[in-house]
Structure 1
Amino acid sequence: MPNEGSYEAAQRKSDEVHADLSKHPENYTMLTGDRPTGRLHLGHYFGTLVDRVRLQNMGIHTNIVIADYQVITDRDTTEHIRDNVYNMVVDYLACGIDPSKTMIFTHSAIPELNQLMLPFLSLVTEAEMERNPTVKAEQQASGHALTGLLLTYPVHQACDILFCKGNIVPVGRDQLPHIEITDKIARRFNERYAPVFPEPVGLLTSTPLMPGLDGRKMSKSYGNAISLSMTAEETARLIKKSRSDSERTITFDPENRPEISGLLSTAAICTGRDATEIADEIGDGGAGQLKRYVTEVVNDYFAPIRARREEIAQDMDYVANVIHEGNQQARQIASATLEQVREAMGMTY
């Protein structure tokens, strides 16, 4: 977690950029992405996808990396990765990402992007990487020894952001250390060689964290996540079997009643209503009535997205083409950037 001073400075920068985005969208290039480790869920949708579509439709240059190489930072297998990548693109398209406006590409298909790792690694110290709190947290969560790939994870992200000259990156507060590393790499390269890269700003999101059905962080591994690819019936079953407590009266109390509060938060974010107001309305109706209400509002909200998703999934050749064209475009951009880097370093022979 960044200290308060650096967080306040980051918040000020973020606020300034937010204020300027609608006036000068053409000045901004956004890079964001996901690791294809499973299906996207409601936490991804409300946490990032809605914002990506908004930025795309404002006229900002938007880019999404499917970070397939980063799957193996903390996992020993790439089983199901192809299926996960294709389904991720289906989710993006169903939610409103437009491939004619947003470049969607896969990390492993852009060798020129990954070649930036070598000069970038020379610009950071081992100590800077080891004290990155996100790397520490991911290592603890995985239970793995610290691999070279996990240690250099923030530098990989710097390559993703800087190859396309990204200058805004939507992030939560806990991801600011990655932006700080990217900023250092851009600044140090520009000072040491030539001004090639912008210094990116973390665009802090004000989106409330979407809890899982049990009040914990929404995660497939916890079994508390409603995936965008679920049917209405699957959603109903998952909500019905979600944990509740024995108290009859419904109240919003995240600390003492995490499961009930997780359900209320899900309903609140899907309806735009206040969680306490929903709790008061259900009152003594108990967990059964609450779960029925949550099922109804989730399924109503996602019905059009799921209908689009089903339609897109019927044409996987189109999905493959979106990935192929995005990869081609990304390679062209990465090749031009790499050429600039080699010229700046005097490495053109």
Structure 2
Amino acid sequence: MPNEGSYGVALERSRRVEAGLKDHPEKYVMLTGDRPTGRLHLGHYFGTLRGRVELQNLGVRTNVLIADYQVITDRDTTEHIQDNVYNMVMDYLACGIDPDKTMIYCHSAVPACNQLMLPFLSLVSEAELQRNPTVKAEMEASGHELTGLLLTYPVHQACDILFCKGNVVPVGRDQLPHIEITRQIARRFNKRYGKVFPEVDALLSDTPLLPGLDGRKMSKSYGNAVSISMTAEETAKRIKKSQTDGERKITFDPENRPGISGLLSTAAICTGRSEAEIADEIGDAGAGALKKYVTNAVNEYFAPIRERRHQYENDLDYVKDVLHEGNRKANELAEATLAEVHEAMGMTY
């Protein structure tokens, strides 16, 4: 019998969810989110934001978390956090997330959600938390010591998913261990105290990870990302500065020509063409011609998004209102769920 936590089983469940989403979107509650550590970029847009908008427009009950508490899992400062949060809301709105259909809220504003940590921590062992590969990877990537918050990060994520009775979470393959822990916590709680929480499934993305302009992972710290909030001029400057190689003929070869291939991937996803087709078209015109093509492709695709974003930049009161309303709705939901948890545990006095 296949291991329930295996990729094969998760993929099969994900396919069933996809079919169900089309036929009965109203049966699904989706939760996803981002840590406000900087500006959202093209990788975020094509990797998750576009998919969130599609689910929202299908009629799925969508919830987007700005995970401000999770910023301090692997860093020692919350400098710029308020600015990052407001800019994240602007990005969401500009990309098509509709606050009338999607609840946008902040971790720190929903105390009842975070109170679920206490009963949930009693349902997992230290060994299970220590084994979680994504926690290990995040610790190594940041170079930060293993804090209690980082160790219990998967439990915090379970609170985020289950407080709103989420039953589907869009993730990449590397995040599957988090979904498995959430499913275990829900099952153990239901078995011990009575049915309160739903079964949770991963909705696995088939969108390939968009590399940065230099072929490495897209990251603000590498300087290889184009942010959604950049102007057309800033985008052109960022692409122009990206490193390529001395070979004139343009070919798609991610292993041997990461810079050229990263640029081709960006152009391909913005135009709907293949990397090879674009490479053939540019041919011997060289990296300068490729950069010009990529700049035009990105700026053309993001022009309407940036135009909408500019309107929100000039209306911070509206951005704050969206967040306040999302926080209010999240608190209502969290308090109702916490009341159910207390009732199930016999803790109503």
Structure 2-normalised TM-score? 0.99
Q: What's 1:25 paired with?
A: 25
1:4 Cα shift? 10
Per-residue CA deviations over 1:198-230 (Å, capped at 9, x if unaligned) read 010000011111110000110001100000000
Counterpart of 1:179?
A: 179
1-side partners of 2:204 and 2:110: how far apart?
Answer: 28
Tell me the alpha carbon deviations over residues 227-246 of structure 1, each in whole angstroms, 9 at most, x when there is no partner. Answer: 00000000000000100000
Identity of aligned residues (%): 76
- The 3-state SS of whatever aligns with 2:12 is helix
- Is 1:152 aligned to 2:152, yes or no? yes
Query: What corresponds to 1:200 in structure 2?
Result: 200
Per-residue CA deviations over 1:287-341 (Å, capped at 9, x if unaligned) read 0000000000100000000000001111000000000000000000000000000
Contact 2:5–2:177 (CA under 8 A) maintained in structure 1: no
2:232 aligned with 1:232 = yes
C-alpha distance in 2 between matches for 1:316 and 1:338: 32
1:105–1:262 Cα change, 3 Å: same
Query: Paired residue for 1:43?
Result: 43
Deviation at 1:142, TM superposition (A): 1.2
* 1:64-122 deviation per Cα after TM superposition (whole angstroms, max 9, x unaligned): 00000000000000000000000000000000000000000000000000000000000
Residue 65 of structure 1 aligns to a residue in which SS? strand
2:216 is the alignment partner of 1:216: yes
Q: How does 1:161-310 map to 2 (within 5 A)?
A: 161-310=161-310
Counterpart CA distance in 1 for 2:79 and 2:164 is: 29
The aligned residue for residue 71 of structure 1 is: 71
Question: What letter is aligned with 2:343?
Answer: E
1:115: which partner in 2? 115
SS, match of residue 229 in structure 2: coil
Shift of 1:196: 0.1
AA in 2 matched with 1:301: Y
- Taking a change above 3 Å as real, the CA distance of residues 150 and 332 of structure 1, as seen in their structure-2 partners, is same
TM-score under structure 1 length normalisation:
0.99
In structure 1, stretches of 5+ residues that fail to align are none
For residue 5 of structure 1, report the CA deviation from its aligned partner: 7.2
Deviation, structure 1 residue 41:
0.2
Aligned to 1:22, what secondary structure does the other structure show?
helix
Q: Is 1:8 paired with 2:21?
A: no
Distance 1:5 1:128, change over 3 A: closer
CA–CA separation in structure 2 for the residues paired with 1:85 and 1:253: 37
8 Å CA contact 2:5, 2:180 repeated in 1: no
Q: How many residue pairs end up in the alignment?
A: 348
Q: Distance in 2 between matches of 1:154 and 1:223?
A: 29
Cross-structure match for 2:94: 94
Residue 279 of structure 1: CA displacement? 0.4
Q: Unaligned 5+ residue runs, structure 2? A: none
Q: What's 1:132 paired with?
A: 132
- The residue aligned with 2:348 is 348
Query: Is the 2:214–2:262 Cα contact (8 Å) retained in structure 1?
Result: yes
Rounded to whole Å, the distance in 1 between the matches of 2:129 and 2:4 is 20
SS for the counterpart of 1:169 is strand
Corresponding letter in the other structure for 1:256: N
Preserved contact between residue 123 and residue 189 of structure 2 (Cα < 8 Å): yes
**Could you say what secondary structure the match of 2:23 adopts?**
coil
